[in-house]
Amino acid sequence: MKVGFVGAGKLAQALTKGLVKAELAPPERILCSCPRSDVYLLEQMRKLGCRTTSNNSHVASDSRIIILAVKPPVIPKVLKDIAEHITPQHLVISVAMGITTRHIEKALPPKSRVIRVMPNTPALVREGASVFSCGSNTLEEDSTTAHRIFTSVGICEQIEENLLDAVTGLSGSGPAYMYMAIEALADGAVKMGIRRELAIKLAAQTLLGAAKMVLETGKHPGALKDDVCSPAGTSIQAVHELEKNGFRSALISAVEAATQRSKETGGLF
């Protein structure tokens, strides 16, 4: 597998590590482009053993799988840079929030194979949650390729593209909600006398353990919650307080707001 990254940020670095560890691509077969001004990012990719360039078109001409690991506002320029080098043999994978496969296909030559992915930042510790959808010209093998790449840094699922904005609101933005939950839980523990360092550690491990219970037992989260809540116990008392303060409603609204913002972002391009 010969892979090219347009962009050298944390996600590109995480995917590079995942590809190498999973033995999908050795570092010398990975080329990354980034503006010369981003010296630090280029140096980080070189430390991983990758080749680097400041020329986006070089990535397109050198690689068969091109991952656009850049922010949405940069996408129009990037597509312009690589368009003349894209052939039916290329697979273009975009992680830019809100930018549809149709938009990318229109900016590239006819029959271009495009996949859109929504990853999240825990990919940096190989615990990512990625979801992808295929464009109109992809081959059956392309979905397999995308799945192999993104399972190297976590879990990966395929979904209809009209649901990707909702995925953005859930797992794409979700780590931010969970970090706030960890911080708030730790604040509560500090208020009750536990030192800050231990409070954060306990809160983080609690979320990690609860998530693992959901994934490994297959039980509904509500059932697992009920298992913790003994009659007249501390947990059910705490759950009542959360309900009175709109805990679940706030999370639902957060996913809805982030989904809408993703849709709005895509509409700008």
State yes or no: 162 annotated in a binding site. Answer: no
At 77 the three-state DSSP class reads helix
Q: Is 245 annotated as belonging to a binding site? A: no
Q: Measured in Å, how far apart are the chain's first and last C-alpha atoms? A: 31
Q: Which residues pair with 133 in a beta bridge?
A: 116
Residue 212, annotated as binding a ligand: no
Longest C-alpha distance within the chain, in Å?
Answer: 68
Report the C-alpha gap between 92 and 74 in whole angstroms: 15
Q: How many CB atoms lie within 10 A of CB 97?
A: 20
- The answer to the question of whether 70 is labelled as a binding residue is yes
CB 146 within 8 A of CB 93: yes
Cα–Cα distance, 170 to 159 (Å, whole number)? 14
Q: Please state whether 98 falls in left (phi above 0), alpha (psi between -120 and 50) or beta.
A: left
56 is in an annotated binding site: yes
* Binding residue numbers for NADP(+): 69-72
* Binding residue numbers for NADPH: 56
* Binding residue numbers: 56, 69-72
